[in-house]
Structures are given as structure tokens and as C-alpha cells.
Structure 1
């Protein structure tokens, strides 16, 4: 009996009646991925750009998370057709391509996720998890239906091109990265600076006007609330490493007295 793949993030976003809340997976651990998959969040992102995730670890996390009612996105390290091809072959159905600054770069990402004649993706699904080793009927001819593509706007220059980027056919949504955006604006570490917030809202307006979905990273709860009010369709609110770091710090602060110099004595 032929197998069916899960709905893409594009499909899930189209059917959502509220903003979708997600989080990053940065540990590379399938145990952490499974813990987060059962948390109740709407979507997870396996990060290959700033986390120690490799092709085998990505595939393992995809397999573990598949048992749960959550959508998984994989962020590739950069806009490279070979890496994109390999990540798709692991079975990733939803990709996020970082640092997209122009419509041409967005078009290159679209080409990388599509088989010829629409794109340049190499055909190897019979050998890979993407088409479940030939068990998904018509995978090659219908592959674009099984893959959704998000691109990430992360610079001041990209903000200026947000409308053209969003208008590229095959781009299903745009995620704004305030951290790199702030740095590009000469405001490193100031993701909630008024100028950064204004730039994010400009992207929101441009992408929404193009009829596409728009999201944002917002680990600060107040910023997240504001972005949801501003019309974000999806939002990443934290990461596994962030929750572990802040939670362990809270535990230490609760039970270990601070030394006069502000440090803690763990002995």
C-alpha cells in the first residue's frame, strides 16, 4: 500500500486559525527533540546553521519527531543546492533558508528544492527517506506538493527587498531574524531596539501584502506578544538550549547562595 507524507508547513499555516508557536532544536539530541515534540508546541525547527546538527542527526530527529502531532522545519546552514538536496533526501518536508537578501537568492532556493524542469534538485528519492525509498507513489512528479520553503530576512538590505522576495513563486513564507537584522543595522544585541522593531514590522507589511505568511524569532516574551499583535502568522518563542540554560540557572539561584563577589559556591 502506498505511503502518504504529512502535510507541509505551508498547508498547516493555510489551515490555521491562530498564529503557530514553535521553538528551536539546537542540542542535536533526539531525546531533546522528542521531549519538545510532545510539549504541545505547533512546530519545531532543527537548526543546522548555528547548532551541531549533521545529516544523520537531522534524519534521526525527523524520525523521532514523526511520532508526534507537530510540524518540523529544518534550517539549512546556507543557500546551497547540494546541502538543500541532501537535507530534503533525509525526509525534511519543510526548509528554512537563512540570509536571503534578494529575489534572485530566493529564486535560487526555490530552484534547489524542485526537480527539473522547474528546478535543479537531483533525483534520488528511491535511495532516500524523502520518498520513503520508493514507497510514496508519484513522489518525483509531485515533489513540490510535499515540500514547503521558507526564507529568512536578516539584514537591513533584505528588508528593502522584502516585497520582491515574498513575491517569488515557490516561496511559501518569510521568517524575520531580528538578531542578525539588529547587527546589520549597527545595533548588535539590541533586537528590541525601536528601529529594529520598525524594520520587522515593515517586513510584516510587505510579506502580508504579497499574500504570503510571515513569522519572526522572538525569545523575549514581551516582543513575542507585540509581534503576535502586529500580525505574525508564526513565531519561534524559545529553544531547547535556552530553556535548559535558563532553567538550570533558576535552579542554581534558588538553592545556592551567592558569594560576595556575585559568584556561586558549588562545593
Structure 2
């Protein structure tokens, strides 16, 4: 799969569906990558993903058409370099609250003179030195997705969206809900309407909008204009399935024994 695969698909006209990957499991990534999702987001913010572990997960995706996104833990130039040199298709930056922070993320993504990215030779991102690209091609390979997850980010959404080099803005209902005083209530009406309005601002600027939305909230955000939707996490699916199975079995057979 070409490294610019996801960036070419990130358009306001094309809907993409994916999952967060929180288990840092090669087997889970390999299995899910064959399910037909457009992307998997490997979480480096809340989950203890190591670089070698992530490398193995990316290899598991390689034979498929499922693109890789890594959510970084913070605006850290060193981390950006390592993730980019691993050959990911996109980086997601959490809790971007201003145009200045978005501009810094772009700086870390781009080679000079547009940015500060260091040039590496024998790394996976360049096919171990075999892939020769022009500066323009190299700078256009990997997509940058910034997350808007706070009231401040919503207030600055126009300025963040307008930053050249930001390919998509992804909304996090859980953190935004907490910042708005609705901890644990991401489906609260005010939170949903706030995100929907911000999505429309992003779309009006010609950029791609994304969101974390469960199946029951998916239609609402699609109607608002979101085209990149993370539906769940693989751990969430595992836990829900495991809980439901044991509940059904115990309910059926323990009731029969009585």
C-alpha cells in the first residue's frame, strides 16, 4: 500500500470508517484488518504501545487495504519522527486547542524548508532507503489529523481548520463533554449540537471532519457532515461481546435449572 493511500482518500466526499486499537496486539490488528475497516487508529496517548510493538502491528496491516493512523501522546518532535519513519499513513494529535499548536504539528510533519522533520535513510517509511521521492512528494505522503476535544478548541475551530497542512479535524465527544461539565455524558444534547456545529465549520472551510461515534450516534454525525468515523475500539467490542455472551448463557441455563 502506498504511504499516501489514506491522504488521497481523506476528502469531504468520501466516508471512512474505522476503530481505535487499544490492545497493542499484533493478532488483534491482523484479524481486524481483514474485516473491511478503512483505518485503524493505534492509540499512543492512553495505551502503552511501544515502537517495536507498533512496528509489528503495522506489518500485520501491510497486506490489507486498512490504513494505519497513530495517535501520538503529545506534541513531541522526537515521537513524530519515530512514528513517521515507521511508515504510518497518518498521525492524529490529541487536544489541539489553537492554530499555534496545529502549526507546530505541521512543522513536525514536514521536511525543511516547510518544517523541521529530520531526514532518515534506512527506515521503513522510505522502504529502507529504496523509495526515492521529491521533496513535494515526501511532504505530501502522511496525513495530519488534529483532535478538537475542549471548549477552547471549539472556540478556535476556524483558526485551527485554516492551518495549511491540517488534513482533518477529529472531534472527541468524551473529552469535550467533560470540559463542558458533562463528564461521562458524550451523548448529551448540548455536546452533540456543539460538535455538529463545529463539523459544519470544518466542512465549510473545505476540510475533512471526523468524530468518535458509536453506532447509535453515527447517523447524527454523518448528517452533520463528518466523513471519518471511529466507531469503537477493539477492546470495547471484545468486552461487550464477552459480557453479552456470558449474560445470555447464564440467564438461559440458570433460569432453566430453577
TM-score surpassing 0.5? yes
Shift of 1:206: 1.4
1:156-182 residue CA offsets vs partner (Å, 9 max, x unmatched): 110011111010000000000000000
Q: Does 1:63 align with 2:59?
A: yes
The structural deviation recorded for 1:17 is 5.2
Deviations 1:236-257 (A, max 9, x none): 0011100100000011101124
CA-to-aligned-CA distance 1:28-87 (integer Å, 9 cap, x gap): 001000111000111111111111211111111111101111121111111111111111
- Contact 1:131 1:139 survives alignment (8 Å): no
2:108 pairs with 1:112: yes
Displacement after TM superposition at 1:142 (Å): 2.7
**1:175-194 aligned within 5 A:** 175-194=170-189
**TM norm structure 2:** 0.93
Equivalent residue for 2:248, pick from 239, 250, 254: 254
Contact 1:8 1:148 in 2 (8 A): no
RMSD: 1.7
The corresponding residue for 1:130 is 125
* Equivalenced residues, count: 253
Tell me by how many angstroms 1:209 deviates: 1.4
Separation (CA, whole Å) in 2 of partners of 1:100 and 1:228: 22
- Could you tell me how far apart the structure 1 residues matched to 2:203 and 2:14 are? 15
For residues 62 and 121 of structure 1, the distance between their equivalents in structure 2, rounded to whole angstroms, comes to 21
Matched with 2:138 is: 143
Taking CA–CA contacts closer than 8 Å with sequence separation of 6 or more, which of the two structures ends up with the larger relative contact order?
A: 2
Once the two structures are overlaid, the 10-residue window that deviates more, 90-99 or 104-113, is 90-99
- Identify the match of residue 20 of structure 2 among 13, 16, 24: 24
- Normalised by the length of structure 1, the TM-score is 0.90
Q: Any stretches of 5+ residues in structure 2 without a counterpart?
A: 253-258
Aligned to 2:40: 44
Counterpart in the other structure of 1:173: 168
